[in-house]
Amino acid sequence: MSIITFDHPLAPLPAKKRIALVAHDAKKREMCDWAQKHKAIFAQHILYATGTTGKYLETATGLPVTKCLSGPLGGDQQIGAMIVEEKIDLLFFFWDPLTSQPHDPDVKALLRIAALYEIPIACNRASAEFIVSSELMGKTYARRVEG
């Protein structure tokens, strides 16, 4: 078994987080309601999202959201690339476990990259609540590096 190592240490997650928000169709309303509830927290950070989710979030919160493509059109892959480039610090991905997704390999790749790069991930509202209520939300956090 080989261990993946990084050629460089991962940068600490900054106090002002760059947050990616992704939601499958059946979870978009839930994500928008949850983001509206935490609008004051999100206003302190920088938001990114896949295309349609980003449009809905901007409408729901009034906050600026940098939008990638829609997930099935490559948006999940764009978010994954931003994680690898250390441009995303948190991932909130409200995925629908009951609906088959045509871009399921992209979803799995995004979650794998987020885990590999030590990005906190919330896949449902409960885990998202725990993350946004954490004292670490507004603090710098040093990630652990394998190797």
This prediction has a pTM of: 0.91
Q: Measure the CA–CA gap between 105 and 107, rounded to whole angstroms.
A: 5
Binned at pLDDT 50, 70 and 90, residue 146 comes out as low
Q: List the 65-67 sheet strands across, edge first.
A: 65-67, 46-49, 18-23, 90-94, 121-122
CA distances to 2, 35, 100, 104 from 43, rounded to whole Å, are: 42, 10, 33, 31
- Told to judge if 96 belongs to the known catalytic residues of this protein, a careful annotator would answer no
Strands (E), 3-129: 18-23, 46-49, 65-67, 90-94, 121-122
Q: What is the pLDDT of residues 35-93, one digit of tens each?
A: 999 999 999 999 999 999 999 999 999 999 999 999 888 999 999 999 999 999 999 99
For the chain, the domains span 18-134
Fold classification of 18-134 is Rossmann fold (3.40.50)
Name the active-site residue from 7, 25, 33, 76.
76
pLDDT at 2: 59
